[in-house]
Structure 1
Amino acid sequence: MRLLLVEDDDRVAAALSAVLTRHGFDVVHARGGEEALRRLLPDGVAAPFEVVLLDLGLPDTDGFEVCGRIRRLTTTPVIMVTARADVRSRVHGLNLGADDYVVKPYDTAELLARIHAVSRRTGAATTTAAADGTGRDGTGGPDGARELCLGPLTIQTATRRVAVNGEVVTLTRKEFDLLALLAQRPGVVFRREQIISEVWRTSWEGTGRTLEVHIASLRAKLRLPALIETVRGVGYRLIAPTG
């Protein structure tokens, strides 16, 4: 697995790189935000990194800004690894599109587990589709992508493509993850705590407003007002549209 480590402290980077290398990672080290973006997006084309470990205290660019720029340009998973332990920083990082947030000092075994967990989540759809070569109805498309068809709504989990009546709808990473989660079981109510845990990989506390904002954004972008139903006091469910 190829991993981009963004860390300005050479001693910390060397120690962590040695551990990661022993566990089979191909580590590329960037000392600042601009260098990280150059390595991640050479010539404007995303380089094949499976995960980015991003420190926030960088010498040239704030790590939050780097995360936001990465997320606007690529879906490469980002794990923030930082000494900033306050809830506001955690929520801000996750809202910007980070896939996980690890506070220093950390246990190396936990960090490795989180890297593998993020990799599994982001690569699961593609791996499953490639393994069985089938679509939703058991027939393989040209790229083997699994496709969910719910009335006018089409969700391709491998390519992370969403369309309504054939028109592609651009979603953020978290918006797609939220929609894909609800679409797994149309009609089933997902508790707010469950959604936050599955999509943001954090606890409910302090993140409720973020979920509400993403639900509102999905409703507006998809222009299917009855698609996501609020179950008051419990959570949300997807109502399969017709037509």
Structure 2
Amino acid sequence: MNRTILVVDDDQKTRNLLKTYLEKHQYEVRVAHDGVSFLAEFERFKDELSLVILDVMLPDTDGFTLCQTVRRQSPVPIIMLTASADDTDRIVGLELGADDYIAKPYNPRELLARIKAIHRRMQLGGPGVAVRFLRFAGFSMDLLERQLTDAAGALVVLTSMDFNLLRFFAEHAGETLDRGRLMEQTRGRDLGPLDRSLDVQISRLRQRLNDDGKQPLLIKTVRGSGYVFSADVAASDA
């Protein structure tokens, strides 16, 4: 698969350090310093990109706006960088279609680990396949249009958070996922000791998937551990 990453950050020192670090790990890195230069680079190289890294705070726009622009054109994975300690930035980024986020200041090794994890998930479709669709149990997820259709081709209405949760399940099919990890991926925050919002969301998602019985077949509860997505998932670009 391609290993070309486009980074936008208005701090020249940060851009240069990140470019140098990632190139040492055999990535090809293109950089931009603001929204205008980012969009120019994106239009020029979008078919070659394997990942985009967006800084939230930019001099002429913000990373959220760029995230929306990218998502309308491409399913390329997006990592958001935010200097804000407020969870709101992280949640908004995930809702807009970002695949992951990391808070500044960050350890480059952690960012590299996130990049590698995303690339591993992209390879679900096999070498050379740009994953756009995930299919399971008669359902089809369009990662570019962010839509889910059933076996009859009918649209299944999902909130943005529900779509993100289902995508995370499908990309980690067969893995037991603890509630804390699921909470972080869908809401960008830790799970409180009395917080049942994730369980409510999973119950709602089961209903959307007609998986609402006492013994669900798709999203199974692993007592004391979390949940597992038990469907066979196939990935393709068409």
TM-score bucket (shorter structure): 0.5 to 0.7
**1:58-207 aligned within 5 A:** 58-121=58-121, 123-127=122-126, 149-150=136-137, 153-155=138-140, 163-167=149-153, 169=155, 174=164, 176-178=166-168, 180=170, 184=173, 192-197=179-184, 199-200=185-186, 203-205=189-191
Are 1:5 and 1:29, in contact at CA under 8 Å, matched by a contact in 2? yes
Deviation at 1:158?
10
Are 2:124 and 2:171, in contact at CA under 8 Å, matched by a contact in 1? no
Deviation at 1:2?
0.2
Partners in 1 of 2:198 and 2:40 — Cα distance?
30
Larger mean CA deviation between 163-172 and 69-78 belongs to 163-172
Query: Greater RCO between the two (CA within 8 Å, min separation 6)?
Result: 2
Partners in 2 of 1:98 and 1:147 — Cα distance?
17
Instruction: String of CA shifts for 1:67-118, please: whole Å, max 9, x gaps.
Output: 1222233221111123222222222222222222222222122221121112
Match in the other structure for 2:236: none
Specify the SS of the correspondent of 1:106: coil
Match in the other structure for 2:4: 2
Are 2:82 and 2:104, in contact at CA under 8 Å, matched by a contact in 1? yes
Q: TM-score, normalised by structure 1?
A: 0.65
Are 2:34 and 2:58, in contact at CA under 8 Å, matched by a contact in 1? yes
Specify the SS of the correspondent of 2:10: coil
- What residue ranges of structure 1 are gaps of 5+ in the alignment? 131-142
User: Which residue type is aligned with residue 180 of structure 1?
Assistant: A
Are 2:6 and 2:52, in contact at CA under 8 Å, matched by a contact in 1? yes
Deviation at 1:5?
0.6
Are 1:95 and 1:210, in contact at CA under 8 Å, matched by a contact in 2? no
- Confirm or deny that 1:30 pairs with 2:32: yes
Q: TM-score, normalised by structure 2?
A: 0.67
Q: 1:179 to 1:112 in 2, by over 3 A?
A: closer
- What residue ranges of structure 2 are gaps of 5+ in the alignment? 232-238
Partners in 1 of 2:230 and 2:125 — Cα distance?
26
Q: What is the number of residues matched between the two proteins?
A: 216
Q: 1:166 to 1:20 in 2, by over 3 A?
A: same
Are 2:4 and 2:28, in contact at CA under 8 Å, matched by a contact in 1? yes
Work out the percentage of aligned pairs sharing the same amino acid. Answer: 29
Alignment root-mean-square deviation, CA? 4.4
